[in-house]
Amino acid sequence: MATKKIFIEACFGRETEYTPVWLMRQAGRYLSEYMAVRKKAGSFLDLCHNPELSAEVTLQPVDILGVDSAILFSDILVVPNEMGMELNFLTGEGPQFSKPLQTDEDLENLDMSASQKLNYVYETIKIVKNKLPENKALIGFAGSPWTLATYMIEGEGTKTYSKVKKVIYQNPDYMHKLLNKLSIVVEEYLENQIKAGADAIQIFDSWASALEESAYFEFSWNYMKKISANLKKKYPEIPIILFPKGIGAYLDKIDGDFDVFGVDWGTPMRLAHEKLGDRYVLQGNLEPSRLYSREAIDSGIDEILKITNGKRHIFNLGHGMLPDLDRENVKYLVKLVQNKTRKK
């Protein structure tokens, strides 16, 4: 009988010996081991393109922190990049596409065979799976169609989202065409990750909160939901986690066929538990800035565990790890959650 992976068991709401924990952006700059590999690789994109080194940084948090799941090291923007959009990561400024989408022709020119060009990702997954202890899981991931589309139209990070909002309110058909194309590619990409060995999938909808409620369900949630439903039909044994960041006021309308709802820190766990806890396992949601202080870690963990009570819950941050955190505090957090929730 195969060793059970506690993270996967928890995704399906089964009882586990303790509440599993992993941390969004657990492989990253706060680890000197990551910085060393990053230096060896060259640019950030060079690192994403290098399966050996990507696998190495994917595994680091499992070894160093003792988290219960690894998450593939990559970037959501490799997808539009392989659809033909030139991508640069500028120091201190984040990602930038040199030619954002504007015309119908730009849309036509997107390469729909992108999922076949992402072999370096599938290769990374295979290497990680060979090295990962049997009781630990590997999470594959992609960006949601909406979040990817936003980057592709804005060209870079934005505060106002004014370009993409002009499109949705002036030319919604254009947006739906783009979202349909992205949905096809993202679904193929995630299916290939599963075939390469990913044990679970998370879809990151990082820019969910850019949209008012009606627009959110029309332009984002419905597309994520469809991808998830299609994957669940083919791979019922692979848990799907959806993480829409910043839509705690829209929980009344959340539905669909997926396993785990990722709760961001702006959504009180109490509210998520009340609205979604009977239908989905909840993941989250410690405010990442609490990692600046052990007292804040202690009280934050207690607040969350008081609500979830060790049931149908995967512990995580409510957003990605910050770059300037003290690794000892991160290790402290992981151990504390595992110990506090351990069944006697």
**Cβ nearer to its own copies, comparing 168 with 178:** 168
Task: Establish whether 25 is a catalytic residue.
Answer: yes
Q: What share of the chain is helix, strand, coil (3-state, %, to 5)?
A: 55, 15, 35
Q: Is 161 in the site for its own copies (CB under 8 A)?
A: yes
Which of 289, 298, 327, 340 binds its own copies (CB under 8 A)? It is 289
Stretch that binds its own copies, among 25-33, 77-85, 98-106, 292-300 (CB under 8 A): 292-300
* Site map 235..254 versus its own copies, x via CB under 8 A: -----------xxxxxxx--
Structure tokens at 48: 């994403």
- Known catalytic membership, residue 38: yes
Residue 292 binding its own copies, by CB under 8 A: yes
Question: How many Å apart are CA 334 and CA 320, to the nearest integer?
Answer: 15
User: Which of 13, 100, 197, 268 touches its own copies (CB under 8 A)?
Assistant: 268
- The answer to whether residue 104 is catalytic is no
Task: Choose between 121 and 272: whose C-beta lies nearer to its own copies.
Answer: 272
Active-site hit among 30, 34, 38, 223: 38
Q: Which of 109, 21, 97, 107 is nearest to 65 (CA)?
A: 21
Cβ count near 62 (within 10 Å): 23
Active site residue 292: no
CA distance 33 to 159: 32
How would you classify the pairing of strands 260-262 and 240-244?
A: parallel
Active-site residue, 174 included: no
Structure tokens at 250: 């829209």
CA 332 to each of CA 18, 222, 342: distance values in angstroms, whole numbers, following the listed order: 16, 38, 15
Question: What tokens were used for 170?
Answer: 């002036």
Q: Does residue 20 touch its own copies according to CB under 8 A?
A: no
Nearest Cα to 289, choosing from 318, 248, 328?
A: 318
Residues that bind its own copies (CB under 8 A): 160-162, 165-166, 168-170, 209, 212-215, 246-252, 265-268, 271, 287, 289-290, 292-293, 295-296, 303, 318, 322, 324
Q: Show which residues are catalytic.
A: 25, 29, 38, 75, 151
